[in-house]
Chain A
Amino acid sequence: MLFYIFAGAAVLGALLVVTQKNPVYSVLALIASFFGLSGLYVLLEAPFVAVVQIIIYAGAIMVLFLFTVMLLNVPREDAAEWDRAHPLYRPMAVRIGGALAILLALELGWALSRTAGLGGGVADEHPAVSSVAELGRVLFTDYMFAFEVTSILIIVAMVGAVVLAKKREE
């Protein structure tokens, strides 16, 4: 039951993100969607991921987005611009895209119906590993190299963001 509530919140939030014209509302809807996903992580017995989802995603990344939206004072997408001459509203694109979407849905349904072991709950077979201590141990032993590479990635992203956003002095 809780699954459906959280899943509904996540899907509804995502749909609002895609349909809203005003980017500020899109960002706020995405934060709501992240709260739904965070609830799902709690149901999956991954409380640390749930907390990190709220703190990092909803707290940091989305604030960065909101900050940029406010900073740029982004004009909302006009309805006219949205309706007029969008290549996806051409009839051929609608037909081919619709056919591909139906095909994808059929394939997904087929694959799920043919795969064994989907009947039981996720928590049936193995006990959950949700302790932060175990998480940290694996992160700093098995995933040591990836962790260090991530630190390089963050430095590069930081420097890159500063360089890109700096005003050119000419």
Chain B
Amino acid sequence: MSIGHYLVLSGVLFSIGAAGVFLRKNLITLLLSVEIMLNAVNLAFVAFGRQFGTVDGQIITFFVMTVAAAEAAVGLALVIGLFRHRESLNPEAFTSLKW
């Protein structure tokens, strides 16, 4: 398989994730879509690392995974706090700061 195959797959996954962020109205699904996008980027990193025979792509993938774990922990804590506050997970319920 050529690098092009992996890049197209990565782009497709990223687009699905981005569409999920825009289309869904559930904070949990929004966070899951962000995870899909991070994984699409990971795939591109590893594919490029393999193409150029270096180990850097895999290492950056580990950093992305760490950031994803931190993001999930803080994001879910925020979701719990918001749910306690409004009893809803619809982002449109949290528009008090909107001008």
A contact set with B: CB distance below 8 Å: 3, 7, 10-11, 14-15, 17-18, 20, 23, 26-27, 30, 33-34, 37, 40-41, 43-46, 48-49, 52-53, 56-57, 60-61, 64-65, 68-69, 71-72, 74-75, 77, 81-82, 86, 88, 101, 104, 108, 112, 115, 117-123, 125-129, 134-135, 138-139, 142-143, 146, 150, 153-154, 156-158, 160-162, 164-165, 167
How many pairs of A and B residues are in contact by the CB < 8 Å rule? 206
Q: State the interface size on chain B (CB cutoff 8 A).
A: 68
> Is the CB–CB distance between A161 and B1 below 8 Å?
no
> Is the CB–CB distance between B9 and A23 below 8 Å?
no
Among candidates A18, A37, A154, residue contacting B20 with C-beta atoms closer than 8 Å: A18
> Is the CB–CB distance between A11 and B12 below 8 Å?
yes
Bound Cα distance A17, B13 (Å): 11
Bound Cα distance A75, B89 (Å): 8
Known: A68-B80, A72-B79. A34 touches B39 (CB 8 A): yes
> Is the CB–CB distance between B63 and A7 below 8 Å?
no
Bound Cα distance A95, B71 (Å): 34
> Is the CB–CB distance between B20 and A17 below 8 Å?
yes
> Is the CB–CB distance between B65 and A23 below 8 Å?
no
Known: A37-B43, A153-B70. A7 touches B9 (CB 8 A): yes
Q: In this assembly, does B52 line the interface, its C-beta being within 8 Å of a C-beta of chain A? A: yes
Within 8 A of A (CB), among B25-72: 25-26, 28-29, 31-33, 35-36, 39, 42-43, 46-47, 49-59, 61-63, 65-72
> Is the CB–CB distance between A138 and B59 below 8 Å?
yes
Among candidates A46, A65, A108, residue contacting B58 with C-beta atoms closer than 8 Å: A46
> Is the CB–CB distance between B3 and A122 below 8 Å?
yes
